[in-house]
Structure 1
Amino acid sequence: MSEQTPGTQEREVDVVVIGGGSTGENVADRAHRGGLGEVVVVEDELVGGECSYWACMPSKALLRPTAALAAARRVPGAAAAATGEVDVQAVLERRTSFTSDWDDSSQVEWVEGAGLELLRGRARLDGERRVVVTGADGGTTALVARQAVVVAVGSTPKAPPVDGLDGVRYWTSREATSSRSVPPRLLVLGAGVVGSELATAYRRLGSDVTLVAGSAVLSAFEPRAGELVADALREEGVEVVTGPRASSVERDGDEGEVRLTLDDGRVLVGDELLVATGRGPQTGDLGLETVGLEPGQALDIDAAGQVRGVDGRWLYAAGDVTGLAPLTHMGKYAARAVGDVVAARARGEADGEPAPWSKHATTALHRAVTQVVFTDPEVASVGLTAQQARDAGLDVRVVELDIAVAGSSLQADGYTGWACMVVDESRSVVVGVTFVGQDVAELCQSAAVVVAGEVPLDRLWHAVPPYPTISEVWLRLLEAYGL
């Protein structure tokens, strides 16, 4: 049923993109570059989205200064100059500079400069090809898409079933990355990427941090990666609690101390509680029921990014909202694919199938996902873990070793690192790689080329790593494999 009310403006446009984060921006840009003139981006918060203001950029800005200081302290000659304490206020100010103090003017300028239209407001689907946008003043605009509607609304934090949690004030990643001060005591519930990174950041900025990790730190990664990060956190002074689960929470008023009770009876006390127990697709109030889909669920897409279960080949999705590879860079990749497909279909190309190049999107989004965890040590991973490869029925051989090459010894005294290569023996190709260690983030792209490109191991041997760099670990992995 239409949501149109008296005073609603109705317009027909080529493409409506719901969500003005990095994924939505890239969908819109590619569709417009592909020849579609009227592309409207709808956003009800800050243009640029979660990554720009509350996730990737501010969190890494909080982490980088103390990581640089720690790295200097590991190198004799530089260590003597790195004896002072971190300037917390300067760190917070630099973080704020990366968010433009939560002002999206520059992002709006980019959208308009790219030839796109920005419409501020809350968007909901209202039947086939129709999107109703409600502005801050209560006015509504109905957009009807000639070619496509693309959903790129991202994800939202999920709260665990802990008694009392819904009645207390707590931090999500948004509050943690935008805080103007450092709490004396911080409780972190959840030790995935967000929990581990922010536990690292706030401990180094001066908080007494307790990390309630559940089963393990970074449990979605290779077990050894999580163990090394947990060891490093403990060495930093973080109390890492594994095993017991949170059972209840209470707080003295809005600003009083937080008491988190575990199921073993232990009570943890802090000044702030960060809940970092995962995220889910932000589809609860999107109007999915008007097109026959269930609200609150991830949008199931095909290789072209088209949403399954909706007739007419007009509804697409990209990024976190699909539940696939919920990472900024992967969302932007998927966005480019979707934008190109929408434009190609509008031109009458690729009528029955996705655009020819997009056949590789399945590999990128399912089997060659890249990710870096900016703890210290860093964790860089591409593709499948050993267990995931076994679960997929692959004939798996795992090669793992400590990173101990000339490049790592030059990088830091006492360098601690680990590498793991997962090989599909039936095809003699690498299907997963994990690196753990200082500065291994820059090894991620080489691993991505190896995994996504399905480079045969005998060919990989001839990709000679430069000396002396940490990338020499590739040579050690191949030698350990037996090449």
Structure 2
Amino acid sequence: MAEAEYDVIVIGGGAVGENVADRAVQGGLSAVIVESELVGGECSYWACMPSKALLRAGAALRAARDVRGAAQSVTGGVDPSEAFARRSEIIHDWDDSSQVEWVEGAHIGLVRGHARFTGPKALRVEAADGTVTELTARHAVVVSTGSDPLLPDVPGLADVRPWTSRDATSATRAPATLAILGGGVVACEMATAYASFGTAVTLVVRGQALLTGQEPFAGELVRASLEKAGVSIRMGAEAASARRDDDGVTLSLTDGGSLTAEEVLVAIGRTPRTTDLGLEAIGLTPGDWMQVDDTLRVVSAGADGFDWLYSTGDANHRALLTHQGKYQARACGDVIVARAKGEPVDDAPWGRHVATADHEAVPQVTFTDPEVASVGLTAAAAEKAGYRTRVVDYDLSWLAGASVHADHYEGKARAIVDEDRKVLLGVTFAGPDVSEMLQAATIAVVGQVPLDRLWHAVPAYPTLNEVWLRFLETYGR
């Protein structure tokens, strides 16, 4: 059995954990990452990167078909085998050698295996070959273990070996038919991707709308596009039972109907990957989300007095997005360094050592057709939070940039104005390629840029960014 001591121990070697460790090392501390799977984590191999790679072929083909001159050159559809091959190249065939090389070059330690707490600042790591390493932290332990797909307690569902998001993004062939349980981001993105591969897709959605966390028009546009692509959408239904036979998986639904598909993908939510970490050894409940303050220090019930335990990324349930997890990681690493050196922690709203942008200023892109790009609060969320608002809507197809971009551009945009401060609380775009417009909106929301000042941020013509001028004109001075 080996033993080692570091200033900081990070459980989880995904993009979030890597950033925590890197910030700690840059601040002069020693750090080690404990990873039980691939260094680079979920985003690199099973989520963000492979899913967007699978979506790209269909998006490029649709874009070409909507521009006269290019459309005449399109003679076929997406080649699924080539799309899967490109995906595999982008994620290096699930080989983390380059990620390990980066970790070593950043002077971060790496221990392969599954970590469990044995006490405060103490972990036991067991590798696949049975090798055990005992780790002790001088200053901090950071839980960056991410989340797993949530499987509902539906009779027979576990027995049919359903796909999770990992299976959908790591497949090597497109099934002839696919049933997807869910109406959120993963469900809509995978429906978009597999429909482009020629798969007959059926979405089974519990509620009456898609992408319910977004502005309603976004889900409506995505639904219309999916249906145009041949996706069948069953609203107001859930799986009541499941069974697999030679014909595939048959789902009995709560609306009294049923459907049979070659595969079924469950995409109804996430659950924290904290079940088997030995949290009971430090007074916490296994399987719970890790509640944290704005310095990312754990404040879960039972953690009172623990000044050494932190959590970043999905595991703390603040914003289940890779870019937000990395943002938290940078703040967390800086906090740990500051506290280790006895330096004051700047906990002002926009201080360096706090993560506050994951409260009301979260940017997110859903890579469906059309894309949905949003930041900050929706109109409903702003009203619920007690703001006095005005909603400004604009049809993106009216922009000169839209007419150049595509022959049949369809999209909408919405800005939520705080009427008391005359700043933006949220912005949502839905349309082709709107993801590239999001950072400007994020800066406006996070920076609380006054509307009077935005008049002087002149958008280039003719681009989709001209929507910023149209927002202001619609709002009026």
* TM norm structure 1: 0.95
The answer to whether structure 1 residue 374 and structure 2 residue 367 are counterparts is yes
AA matched with 1:59: S
Q: How many residues align?
A: 472
Q: Is 1:280–2:271 an aligned residue pair? A: yes
The answer to whether the 8 A contact 2:319-2:358 is kept is yes
Say if 1:304 and 1:358, in contact at 8 Å, map to a contact too: no
Cα 1:383–1:438, aligned 2, differ >3 Å: closer, same or farther?
same
1:472 aligns with 2:472: no
1:62-109, Cα deviation, whole Å (9 max, x unpaired) = 010111111010000111112222222111100000111111111111
Distance 1:84 1:226 in 2: 29
> In structure 2, which of residues 434, 449, 467 is the aligned counterpart of residue 455 of structure 1?
449
Structure 1, 438-447 or 342-351: larger mean CA deviation: 342-351
**Cα separation, partners in 2 of 1:352 and 1:360, compared to 1, 3 Å:** closer
Aligned to 2:95: 103
Q: Secondary structure at the match of 1:329?
A: helix
Contact 2:399 2:464 in 1 (8 A): yes
Check the 8 A contact 1:75/1:412 in 2, yes or no: yes
Which aligned pairs between 1:286-297 and structure 2 lie closer than 5 A?
Answer: 286-297=277-288
1:143 aligns with 2:135: yes
Aligned partner of 1:444 in structure 2 is 438
Q: Any gaps of 5 or more consecutive residues in structure 1?
A: 1-7
Identity of aligned residues (%): 56
Tell me the distance in 2 between the aligned counterparts of 1:25 and 1:463: 36
For residues 308-348 of structure 1, give each alpha carbon's deviation from its aligned partner in whole angstroms, at most 9, with x where no partner exists.
13424111111000101110111111101101111122222
- 1:204 is aligned to 196
Equivalent residue in structure 2 for 1:260, among 240, 246, 251: 251
Distance across 1 between alignment mates of 2:318 and 2:98: 29
Residue deviations 1:234-275, cap 9 Å, x none?
Answer: 00110011112221111117xx50111111211111000000
User: What is the CA deviation profile of residues 372-420 of structure 1, one whole-angstrom value per residue up to 9, with x for unaligned ones?
Assistant: 0000100000011111111111112111121120011111111100001
Structure 2 CA distance, aligned partners of 1:316 and 1:275? 30
Is the Cα–Cα contact under 8 Å of residues 280 and 323 in structure 1 kept in the other structure? no
Q: Partners in 1 of 2:241 and 2:348 — Cα distance?
A: 49
Correspondence 1:383-422 to 2 at 5 A: 383-403=376-396, 404-422=398-416
What displacement does 1:458 show? Answer: 1.1
Residue in 2 that maps onto 1:226: 219
Q: Which runs of 5+ in 2 are unaligned?
A: none
The answer as to whether partners of 2:178 and 2:202 remain within 8 angstroms in 1 is yes
Counterpart mapping for 1:150-189 below 5 A? 150-189=142-181
Distance in structure 1 (CA, Å) of the matches to 2:266 and 2:144: 24
Give the partner amino acid of 1:41.
I
Q: Find the aligned partners of 1:425 and 1:326 in 2 and give their Cα distance.
A: 30
- Residue 360 of structure 1 and its aligned partner are, at CA, apart by 5.7
RMSD value, Cα = 1.5
Q: Partner of 1:346 in structure 2?
A: 340
Which residue in 2 is equivalent to 1:31? 24
Paired letter, 1:332: K
Query: Are residues 478 and 359 of structure 1, via their aligned partners in 2, closer, same or farther at CA, if it must alter by over 3 Å?
Result: farther
Corresponding residue to 2:420 among 426, 446, 449: 426
Deviates more, 1:78-87 or 1:380-389: 78-87
Are the equivalent residues in 2 in contact too, given 1:376–1:438 (CA < 8 A)?
A: yes
Q: 1:32 to 1:351 in 2, by over 3 A?
A: same
Counterpart-to-counterpart distance in 2, 1:423 and 1:207: 42
- CA deviation after TM superposition for structure 1 residue 158, in Å: 0.4
| Equivalent residue, structure 2, for 1:332 | 326
Equivalent AA in structure 2 for residue 134 of structure 1: E
Distance change >3 Å, CA 85–CA 356, structure 1 → 2: closer
Say whether 1:11 aligns with 2:4: yes
CA distance in 2, matches of 1:35, 1:147: 13
CA distance in 1, matches of 2:341, 2:36: 31
Indicate the residue corresponding to 1:241 in structure 2. 234
C-alpha displacement of 1:354: 8.2
Question: Hey, what's the Cα distance between the residues in 2 that align with 1:249 and 1:355?
Answer: 49
User: Is 2:476 the counterpart of 1:482?
Assistant: yes
What is the CA distance between 1:223 and its match in structure 2? 1.0
Distance 1:375 1:199, change over 3 A: same
CA positional deviation for 1:161: 2.9
Residue 124 of structure 1: SS of its match in structure 2?
Answer: strand
Per the normalisation by structure 2, the TM-score is 0.96
Q: Which residue identity lines up with residue 244 of structure 1 in the other structure?
A: A
Q: Cα deviations across residues 446-483 of structure 1 (Å, max 9, x unaligned)?
A: 11001111111111121111100001111111111113
